């Protein structure tokens, strides 16, 4: 009888020990704290002072094109068009590194800088903007215009959709204007004068135009 009593006591102590361990495990699990949102790594914002040059909306992602102090080109992905009033202005931008998907390439990802905040600031521009006086003067100085036209003027100005001036040349009579040639003067990505044919809505470089005339 004493043997059975001792055996029962051992079993009871073992069961109590297992129950205690189970409760301890449960207690440890409950104590595990979820990671707070504030403890997660926040998006790292970078701040730069840049000169806004151009808005590019013709690709899968929209871009703002800027110059930095070294006159290097900086592209930032944007959600909305950068206001045209900021063109050739000094701005402070805050941006972060984003992950973008390559269109039509099985979801391939690549890193890009995305604009978060932009505001105009005071300061000297990194690169002098192209003026209308320069555009008109450069077209006037073309040999073909010097010899044949007495008037040169801007017909259209750059917009968010096009980065060129449309310049018209010709001769002015007493009551009429006779058009001679038209040119597109690009200010981005590089300054360039191109001959424009309004009849075919085509353009060509000045060298191509001159060779074609020969």
Task: Point out the domain boundary residue: 77, 94, 120.
Answer: 120
155 and 186 inside one domain: yes
Six token digits for residue 53: 């040059």
Total domains present in the chain: 2
> Domain range holding 154?
132-213
State percent of the chain over pLDDT 70. Answer: 78
136 and 95 inside one domain: no
Q: Show Cβ contacts of residue 86 under 8 Å, excluding neighbours closer than 6 positions.
A: 52, 118, 120
What does the pLDDT look like over 155-193, one tens digit per residue? 998 876 788 999 999 998 878 888 999 999 998 778 999
* Surface-to-core class of residue 165, CB atoms within 10 Å of its CB (0-12 exposed, 13-18 middle, 19+ buried): buried
Q: How many CB atoms lie within 10 A of CB 129?
A: 12
* 2 has pLDDT over 60: no
What does the pLDDT look like over 48-71, one tens digit per residue? 999 998 888 877 889 999 999 998
In a domain, 75, yes or no: yes
Q: What is the CATH number of the domain that holds 110?
A: 2.40.50
Q: Whole-model pTM above 0.75?
A: no
In a domain, 2, yes or no: no
In a domain, 14, yes or no: no
What does the pLDDT look like over 72-94, one tens digit per residue? 889 999 999 999 899 899 999 99
pLDDT (0 to 100) of residue 166: 96
In a domain, 26, yes or no: no
Taking phi over 0 as left and psi of -120 to 50 as alpha, with beta for the rest, 157 belongs to beta
68 and 93 inside one domain: yes
């Amino acid at each position: 009888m004493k043997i059975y009593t001792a055996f029962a006591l051992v079993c009871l102590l073992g069961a109590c020990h297992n129950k205690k361990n189970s409760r301890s495990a449960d207690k440890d699990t409950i104590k595990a704290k979820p990671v707070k949102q504030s403890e997660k790594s926040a998006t790292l914002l970078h701040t730069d002072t840049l000169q806004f040059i151009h808005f590019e909306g013709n690709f899968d992602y929209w871009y703002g094109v800027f110059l930095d102090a070294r006159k290097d080109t900086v592209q930032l992905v944007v959600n909305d068009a950068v206001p045209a009033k900021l063109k050739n202005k000094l701005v402070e931008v805050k941006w972060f590194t984003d992950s973008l998907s390559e269109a039509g390439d099985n979801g391939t990802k690549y890193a890009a800088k995305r604009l978060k905040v932009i505001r105009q600031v005071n300061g000297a521009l990194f690169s002098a903007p192209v003026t209308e006086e320069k555009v008109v003067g450069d077209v006037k100085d073309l040999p073909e215009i010097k010899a044949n036209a007495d008037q040169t003027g801007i017909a259209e100005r750059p917009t968010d959709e096009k980065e060129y001036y449309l310049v018209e040349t010709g001769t002015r009579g007493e009551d009429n204007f006779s058009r001679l040639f038209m040119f597109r003067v690009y200010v981005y990505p590089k300054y360039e004068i191109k001959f424009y044919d309004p009849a075919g809505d085509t353009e060509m470089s000045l060298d191509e135009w001159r060779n074609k005339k020969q």
